[in-house]
Structure 1
Amino acid sequence: MSPQIKALDAYEILDSRGNPTVRVALALSDGTRVAASVPSGASTGENEALELRDGDAKRYGGKGVRHAISNVIEVIAPALVGRDPTRQRDIDRLMIDLDGTQEKSKLGANAILGVSMAVARAGAKVTGKPLYQYLCAGSPSVMPVPMMNVINGGTHADNSLDFQEFMLMPIGAPTCAEAVRYGAETFHALQRLLKKRGLATSVGDEGGFAPKLRSNDEACQLIVEAIEAAGFVPGKHLSVALDPAASAFFVDGRYQLAKSGAGPKTAAEMLDLYTRWIDQYPIVSIEDGFDENDWAGFQAMTARLGSRLQIVGDDIYVTNTHFIRRGIDEQATNAVLIKLNQIGTVSETIEAIDMCRKAGWKYVISHRSGETEDTFIADFSVAMAGGQIKTGSLCRSERIAKYNRLIEIERELGNKAVFSNPFA
């Protein structure tokens, strides 16, 4: 008989913002022990699965997760003890049924996801495979090109930038390890440029610099200068990816670019801005360029620019097949951001990816702004073979842990590893 789930435990740990989150520990009948930690987002879609918080102002300002932990120990654990950890889909479905709500509000998506990730790790241990191989439908080989957040704005930084993330993509690197080098060298070149101009080099939630710039345009200009200063060619070795996170500045039917002083803009004016930018800068991907409910804005952008760049939906889809199906039917974007904790189980996340594959859409495995040292998404990105990962800047250990794990996986794969420009 294969090892079975013997015990589940859960407890509070801190995420990268110093807020509590859930860690689940799972023990098998053969003595194997694994654990998984759940990330937390700041810029969240309104249709995301619910992250259960206690609301007790006397503990962590109401952000405690003892209720979610209790649900793991008292509700989920009794139902899972004695089960085969390799039955991932069955176990995830059981937890969904135990919760019984559409948004996982009874048990909490943070409780359910922590268990789901731990079960996946246990299943990998039972089969004697690394996690990236265990979760892969075929033979793992595709290493992801990273989106590296080097300038932060929006809700992720207290500065003058409306847009949330300005990222590097080392599309011309020959390997994942070299992609990390390209990014790190450009990151440090950017730091030197900022210092030279007397700008702050403090960092935001995801490790990117958070300077007070004169405009959103200046962030793009600085990144291009940094790429050149590091000895690379913009558009050849490294390109730019953006996440405006437009829902955060959509107010009263207008896109309010108040932090930068650019004023309110209509959806048509935002599209004109994006069009000008991709003409001017080596931009290959734009995520959440419009509010999560502005389907017409996304459709217009895809119709005009979809043949020129990757248009990614995050808040509009929240890793949910219901919304992704609508996006496919309405041609709202041509790519989806994939976040495990938006939907709440490993199985449902894979179902969302399968839907993207069938539609011929790209997909990007993503971290959250409130992260932990858990490297699950590094393995997951290789297993899902999407060729892209978004996991933050080139500093802060909770981000670097994912890059280091990718380097490790690439070494394990040896000459089987494939790394290539996803936009070629």
Structure 2
Amino acid sequence: MSTSTRIANLHAREILDSRGNPTLAVTLVLESGLEAGAAVPSGASTGTNEAVELRDGDLARYGGKGVLAAIRGVEGPIASVLRGHDVCDQVALDHAMIALDGTPNKGRLGANAILGVSMAAARAASVVEGVPLYQQLGGEEACLLPMPSMNVLNGGKHADSGLDFQEFMIVPLGAPTFAEALRYGAETYAAIRSILHKGGFKTAVGDEGGFAPALENNEAACELIVEAIEAAGYRPGEDIAIALDPAASSFGEGGIYNLARAGQGRLDRTAMLALYGRWINSYPIVSIEDGFAEDDWQGFTELTAAQGQRIQVMGDDITVTNPNFIQNAIDLKAMNAVLIKLNQIGTVTETVEAVALCRKVGWRTMVSHRSGETNDDFIADFAVACRAGQMKCGAPCRGERLAKYNRVLDIERALGKRAIFTNPFANA
């Protein structure tokens, strides 16, 4: 191991995410003097079993959300353990941090501190090896570009709208290239804005860039999207489809789902299954993520049994990018796809393991941003590296969202004829 690949030091600082809350940026320094950095996102709608962010709890600073303790962890114990480590051995340095933390949920040092170092190390390794990050992580086979799911209407915890469901997304599955997919999405997003404006609705956007209108009910959002797809000159279901993330943990408990925000009352598990069935029959829906609460394994299993041959049934809060929970989902046949978020598990290595487990059983994966984002575009490279085939980064709006989409455009250009872009729902 040469001095050019050995870690010399780590630095961290407090920055602001897209919601104006503090988060962590980490800089890794090699003995050669080379530096690489990463910024860590933060979620608003989080699963109970996610790895734990370390927050200061000092109400005199940022309402208790400061990350000075996480910074001390990076620059103190983590730096002490990793000095001299080979930055190109991602697995070894990630496991060294996991062992140092010593808790099942990274609660001592914080998943935000550990992930910032893990991501910065991957970036440094790509510079040392002289290859793009997606190739450093994924090798020569990293050529599959992700199909974007763009959040165009926000509700739930992501916006103060009349919608119980958190995300209504468009999927440009008929596009021949990623660049064209982005164009399909941007044009449809513009059509939604125009329709809302003409209808007298506000066109303010939520945390992830989607519009947050006070619609009559959740179903009205699907009707609006279909109208916008057609207004933009596309065919619903053929050029552009719909994906949903109800984030049902935010309105479900004990098998009962309260859709009172949009005036639909309290529904039991059976009624929710029926609602999804009606929507799938009525609208070009190809994916439902977190259609039931994170503890409602029966709901997921019944939805998969009923609709899994027609749509993608995806877990997020229920699986939290954790191989143990994903394995349980596999054993129960509770879904056929898993959302992948680096900060849910806390290291690059464990995230790769989660994707590999899904691939082993033929399940789809979608790499995802968080509602509290930065301009760091790491997940764009990561989605290509692990051949996820799908990615969601929010609306084609707001700089922290566009940074990811624009990075995939750069990767597509760099790959040239080697780039692969396919419809992951073609064989559904």
Classify the TM-score, shorter chain.
Answer: over 0.9
Residue 282 of structure 1 corresponds to which residue in structure 2? 284
Distance in 1 separating the partners of 2:415 and 2:372: 30
Residue 238 of structure 1 corresponds to which residue in structure 2? 240
1:349 aligns with 2:351: yes
Counterparts of residues 59-74 of structure 1 (less than 5 Å): 59-74=61-76
Distance in 2 separating the partners of 1:94 and 1:385: 26
TM superposition shift of 1:139 = 2.0
Residue 129 of structure 2 corresponds to which residue in structure 1? 127
Gaps of 5+ in 1: none
1:187 aligns with 2:207: no
Q: Do 2:38 and 2:116's aligned partners in 1 also have CA atoms closer than 8 Å?
A: yes
Residue 21 of structure 2 corresponds to which residue in structure 1? 19
Counterparts of residues 111-122 of structure 1 (less than 5 Å): 111-122=113-124
Residue 425 of structure 2 corresponds to which residue in structure 1? 423
Letter of the structure 2 residue corresponding to residue 9 of structure 1 = H
Distance in 2 separating the partners of 1:336 and 1:252: 23
Distance in 1 separating the partners of 2:323 and 2:148: 24
TM superposition shift of 1:137 = 4.3
TM superposition shift of 1:33 = 1.1
Letter of the structure 2 residue corresponding to residue 387 of structure 1 = G
Distance in 1 separating the partners of 2:211 and 2:339: 23
1:58 aligns with 2:60: yes
Larger mean CA deviation between 165-174 and 25-34 belongs to 25-34
Counterparts of residues 384-423 of structure 1 (less than 5 Å): 384-423=386-425
Distance in 2 separating the partners of 1:47 and 1:386: 23
TM superposition shift of 1:31 = 2.1
TM superposition shift of 1:81 = 1.2
TM superposition shift of 1:30 = 1.8
1:207 aligns with 2:209: yes
1:136 aligns with 2:149: no
Residue 76 of structure 1 corresponds to which residue in structure 2? 78
SS for the counterpart of 1:135 is helix
Distance in 1 separating the partners of 2:410 and 2:31: 29
Q: Do 2:253 and 2:293's aligned partners in 1 also have CA atoms closer than 8 Å?
A: no
1:303 aligns with 2:302: no
Q: Do 2:52 and 2:105's aligned partners in 1 also have CA atoms closer than 8 Å?
A: yes
SS for the counterpart of 1:259 is helix
Letter of the structure 2 residue corresponding to residue 341 of structure 1 = N
Residue 6 of structure 2 corresponds to which residue in structure 1? 4
Residue 266 of structure 2 corresponds to which residue in structure 1? 264
TM superposition shift of 1:21 = 0.2
Distance in 1 separating the partners of 2:296 and 2:370: 23
Deviation sequence 1:329-387 (CA, Å, 0-9, x none): 11000000000000000000000001001011001000000000000000000011121
Gaps of 5+ in 2: none
Deviation sequence 1:133-159 (CA, Å, 0-9, x none): 000044221000001000000111111
Distance in 2 separating the partners of 1:222 and 1:299: 30
Q: Do 2:5 and 2:88's aligned partners in 1 also have CA atoms closer than 8 Å?
A: no
SS for the counterpart of 1:323 is helix
Residue 89 of structure 1 corresponds to which residue in structure 2? 91
Letter of the structure 1 residue corresponding to residue 147 of structure 2 = V
Letter of the structure 1 residue corresponding to residue 381 of structure 2 = D
TM superposition shift of 1:251 = 3.5
Residue 198 of structure 2 corresponds to which residue in structure 1? 196
Moved over 2 A (4+): none
Distance in 1 separating the partners of 2:5 and 2:118: 17
Distance in 2 separating the partners of 1:406 and 1:358: 25
1:175 aligns with 2:177: yes
SS for the counterpart of 2:97 is helix
| Superposition CA RMSD, Å | 0.7
Letter of the structure 2 residue corresponding to residue 128 of structure 1 = G
Larger mean CA deviation between 248-257 and 317-326 belongs to 248-257
Letter of the structure 2 residue corresponding to residue 184 of structure 1 = A
1:78–1:134 Cα change, 3 Å: same
Q: Percent of aligned pairs with the same residue?
A: 61
Counterparts of residues 30-49 of structure 1 (less than 5 Å): 30-49=32-51
Q: Do 2:149 and 2:393's aligned partners in 1 also have CA atoms closer than 8 Å?
A: yes
